[in-house]
């Protein structure tokens, strides 16, 4: 990137977005953040603002309101992380989730067309739906349940984002990269929107029951956000990766019931581990996947991606950040 050129980060006051902002600033870059603070918080950007106040700009508002007014001449690349995130939110507020994910991504891609800059679109492992192959590889079929099951609308809204992004690249309107995040965890993540690890850590710290949904035998892979974010500019900066989809995560599987025990032991907590049926935690007929694991061959080949931060380190740092109410750089 030339001097004075700017990284645009939508959702930069959120969990993953704020770590990306830190990473881009650490690398000497300039950043403009657009965030409506619906689930994000300015506290997530405090460290960035203190570290490089002259290289970071914060614009509060919805992506679709701010971007049409934004001067695109200095923007070098865009990272679109703003979204209505998580299965809990989609079950509680399906219209907001679907509209935000589709409408705001369309606004980002319209901006990308105007600015003609490489644009990364954050997607999710949810896009695979209830596909049964393990691990999930980028070219695998996606399998959804019926439209009467609200849960799949999150996956479908993100799949539409992917189609739109890939079509922009294919039609030569703007180079795009799609990244499917698997469970991403670490400091600044809040349990408020149903994310499993911060929910468990918060409960363990407060001595409340750690609530495991289902029988706890479902397994997931957890990647620390500080391992994940450096991959984003690396993927976007190489034209070989444009027009492609990448899984981003870690391949080690952990059963959710075991995760509850690991958190409890790590934090020396007295909390009871309690099992809650899906129908009670979410809605009647809620369907969950037994295993969700990324195939990482593609991203390893593209950028030598190898996560290093252990789950124990993540739990410790997440617990410290939740206790401090905010986290240090
Ligand atoms: N955290 C994970 O494990 C995970 C897994 C899969 C996918 N993702 C994807 O990664 C991205 C970031 O997720 P996160 O975990 O950091 O969530 P987050 O909720 O912390 O971040 C989203 C940010 O976007 C902002 N936002 C939402 N709607 C907006 C709008 N219309 N205009 C402007 N700002 C808006 C929110 O205020 C928030 O700061 C999302 O696209 C999400 O789908 C995350």
Q: Is 124 in the pocket of ligand 1 (CB under 6 A)?
A: yes
Whether 199 is covered by a domain: the verdict is no
In this predicted model, what pLDDT tens digit does every residue of 15-38 receive, in sequence order? 999 999 999 999 999 999 999 999
The predicted structure's pLDDT at residue 2: 56
Q: Is 21 in the pocket of ligand 1 (CB under 6 A)?
A: no
Going by pLDDT thresholds of 50, 70 and 90, the confidence category of residue 328 is: very low
Q: Is 266 in the pocket of ligand 1 (CB under 6 A)?
A: no
Q: Which of 128, 154, 163, 278 is catalytic?
A: 154
- CATH code where residue 151 lies: 3.40.50.720
Give residue 157 CA to ligand 1 midpoint distance, Å. 14
Whether 213 is covered by a domain: the verdict is no
Residue 215: count of CB within 10 angstroms of its CB: 13
Asked if residue 4 has pLDDT above 80, the reply is: no
- Integer Cα distance of 236 and 240 in angstroms: 9
- Integer Cα distance of 82 and 105 in angstroms: 8
- Integer Cα distance of 158 and 204 in angstroms: 32
Whether the bond into 168 is cis, omega within 30 of 0: no
Whether 207 is covered by a domain: the verdict is no
Return the residue matching tokens 């027009």. 243
The predicted structure's pLDDT at residue 1: 57
The predicted structure's pLDDT at residue 64: 97
- The residues that bridge with 221 in the sheet, in sequence order, are 253
Residue 31 dihedral angles phi and psi, to the nearest 5°: -140, 135
Whether 143 is covered by a domain: the verdict is yes
The predicted structure's pLDDT at residue 150: 85
Asked if residue 86 has pLDDT above 80, the reply is: no
Give residue 17 CA to ligand 1 midpoint distance, Å. 7
The predicted structure's pLDDT at residue 327: 40
Q: Whose CA is nearest to atom 2 of ligand 1?
A: 184
- Integer Cα distance of 29 and 5 in angstroms: 8
As a whole number, the mean pLDDT across the chain is 93
The answer to whether 163 is a known catalytic residue is no
Give residue 38 CA to ligand 1 midpoint distance, Å. 9
Higher pLDDT, 2 or 66: 66
Closest to 189 measured CA to CA, from 308, 327, 3: 327
**63 contacts 82 by C-beta, under 8 angstroms:** yes
Give residue 81 CA to ligand 1 midpoint distance, Å. 5
Q: Is 101 in the pocket of ligand 1 (CB under 6 A)?
A: no
Domain count of the fold of the chain: 1
Q: Is 14 in the pocket of ligand 1 (CB under 6 A)?
A: yes
Whether 219 is covered by a domain: the verdict is no
Rg (alpha carbons) of the chain, rounded to whole number: 19
Put simply, whether the predicted model's pTM sits higher than 0.75 gets the answer yes
Structure tokens at 172: 């030569």
Whether 275 is covered by a domain: the verdict is no
Give residue 272 CA to ligand 1 midpoint distance, Å. 31
Q: Is 223 in the pocket of ligand 1 (CB under 6 A)?
A: no
Q: Is 184 in the pocket of ligand 1 (CB under 6 A)?
A: yes
For residue 94, give Cα distances in angstroms to 65, 91, 105.
Answer: 21, 6, 17
Whether 21 is covered by a domain: the verdict is yes
In this predicted model, what pLDDT tens digit does every residue of 50-77 receive, in sequence order? 999 999 999 999 999 999 999 999 999 9
Asked if residue 132 has pLDDT above 90, the reply is: no
- Integer Cα distance of 271 and 282 in angstroms: 22
Whether 287 is covered by a domain: the verdict is no
pLDDT (average), residues 283-302 = 88
Burial 237-253 (b: 16+ CB within 10 A, else e): eeeebbbbbbbbbbeee
Asked if residue 45 has pLDDT above 90, the reply is: yes
In this predicted model, what pLDDT tens digit does every residue of 161-203 receive, in sequence order? 999 999 999 999 999 999 999 999 999 998 877 789 999 999 9
Going by pLDDT thresholds of 50, 70 and 90, the confidence category of residue 151 is: confident
Going by pLDDT thresholds of 50, 70 and 90, the confidence category of residue 5 is: confident
Asked if residue 326 has pLDDT above 50, the reply is: no
The predicted structure's pLDDT at residue 178: 98
Q: Is 38 in the pocket of ligand 1 (CB under 6 A)?
A: yes
pLDDT (average), residues 261-277 = 96
Return the best residue to mutate from 85, 154, 155, 225 for the ligand 1 pocket (most ligand atoms within 8 A of CB).
Answer: 85
Give residue 268 CA to ligand 1 midpoint distance, Å. 31
The predicted structure's pLDDT at residue 329: 39
Q: Is 18 in the pocket of ligand 1 (CB under 6 A)?
A: no
Atom of ligand 1 nearest to the CA of 39: 37
- Integer Cα distance of 199 and 202 in angstroms: 5
The predicted structure's pLDDT at residue 70: 96
- Domain containing 232 equals 6-184+224-249+293-307
Return the best residue to mutate from 8, 83, 160 for the ligand 1 pocket (most ligand atoms within 8 A of CB).
Answer: 83
């Amino acid at each position: 990137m030339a001097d004075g050129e700017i990284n645009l980060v939508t959702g930069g006051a959120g969990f993953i977005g704020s770590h990306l902002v830190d990473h881009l600033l650490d690398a000497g870059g300039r950043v403009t953040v657009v965030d409506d603070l619906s689930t994000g918080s300015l506290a997530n950007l405090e460290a960035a603002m203190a570290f490089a106040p002259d290289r970071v700009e914060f614009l509060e508002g919805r992506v679709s309101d701010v971007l049409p007014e934004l001067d695109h001449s200095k923007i070098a690349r865009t990272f679109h992380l703003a979204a209505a995130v998580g299965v809990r939110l989609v079950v509680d507020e399906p219209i907001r989730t679907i509209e935000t994910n589709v409408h705001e991504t369309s606004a980002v891609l319209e901006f990308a067309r105007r600015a003609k800059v490489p644009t990364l679109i954050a997607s999710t492992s949810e896009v695979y739906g209830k596909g049964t192959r393990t691990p999930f590889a980028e070219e695998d079929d996606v399998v959804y349940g019926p439209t009467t099951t609200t849960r799949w609308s999150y996956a479908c809204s993100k799949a539409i984002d992917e189609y739109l992004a890939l079509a922009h690249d294919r039609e030569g309107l703007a180079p795009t990269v799609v990244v499917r995040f698997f469970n991403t965890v670490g400091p600044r993540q809040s349990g408020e929107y149903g994310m499993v690890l911060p929910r468990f850590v918060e409960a363990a710290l407060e001595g409340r029951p750690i609530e495991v949904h289902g029988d706890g035998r479902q397994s997931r892979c957890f990647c620390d956000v500080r391992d994940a974010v450096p991959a984003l500019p690396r993927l976007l900066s190489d034209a070989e990766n444009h027009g492609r989809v990448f899984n981003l995560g870690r391949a080690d599987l952990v059963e959710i019931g075991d995760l509850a025990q690991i958190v409890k032991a790590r934090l020396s907590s007295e909390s009871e581990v309690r099992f809650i049926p899906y129908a009670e935690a979410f809605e009647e007929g809620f369907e969950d996947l037994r295993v969700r694991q990324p195939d990482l061959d593609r991203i390893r080949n593209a950028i030598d991606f190898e996560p290093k931060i252990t789950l124990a380190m993540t739990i410790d740092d997440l617990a410290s950040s939740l206790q401090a109410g905010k986290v240090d750089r």
